[in-house]
């Protein structure tokens, strides 16, 4: 019984050490830093388009811009998802 518990702790320690190493690799990776910078830019663009879509959506009569803003939000979120998954 004790050997199984000790073995479990050893495996868990290796797993934690591996995650720490992967985190440090991502921290110092140029590709990862560029991806995070790109995600921040996409988030800012998303927030800007969201505000303009909201302002357009509260008007009494919606112009064709509203659908374009919604399409842009879908494109930005899809792009951010692709970048995040590549990390």
pLDDT tens-digit series, residues 10-53? 444 445 556 666 666 666 678 878 888 888 899 999 999 999 98
Q: Is 67 helix (H, G, I), strand (E, B) or coil?
A: helix
pLDDT tens-digit series, residues 49-83? 999 988 888 887 877 788 888 899 999 999 988 88
Encoded tokens for 35 = 């991806």
Average pLDDT over the chain reads: 76
Full residue range of the structural domain in which residue 6 is found: 2-86
Closest-CA residue to 81 (of 42, 24, 49): 42
Phi, psi (rounded to 5 degrees) for 49:
-65, -35
Contact 56, 62 (CB under 8 A): yes
- pLDDT for 23 equals 65
Secondary-structure percent of the chain, ordered helix, strand, coil, rounded to 5: 90, 0, 10
List all residues 6 or more positions away from 42 whose beta carbon is below 8 Å from its beta carbon.
76, 79, 80, 83
Q: Is the pTM of this model over 0.75?
A: no
């Amino acid at each position: 019984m004790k050997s199984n518990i000790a073995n479990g702790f050893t495996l868990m320690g290796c797993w934690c050490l591996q995650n720490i190493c992967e985190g440090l690799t991502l921290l110092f990776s140029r590709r990862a830093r560029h991806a995070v910078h790109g995600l921040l830019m996409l988030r800012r663009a998303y927030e800007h388009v969201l505000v303009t879509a909201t302002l357009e959506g509260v008007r009494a009569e919606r112009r064709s811009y509203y659908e374009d803003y919604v399409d842009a939000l879908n494109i930005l979120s899809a792009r951010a998802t692709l970048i995040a998954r590549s990390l």
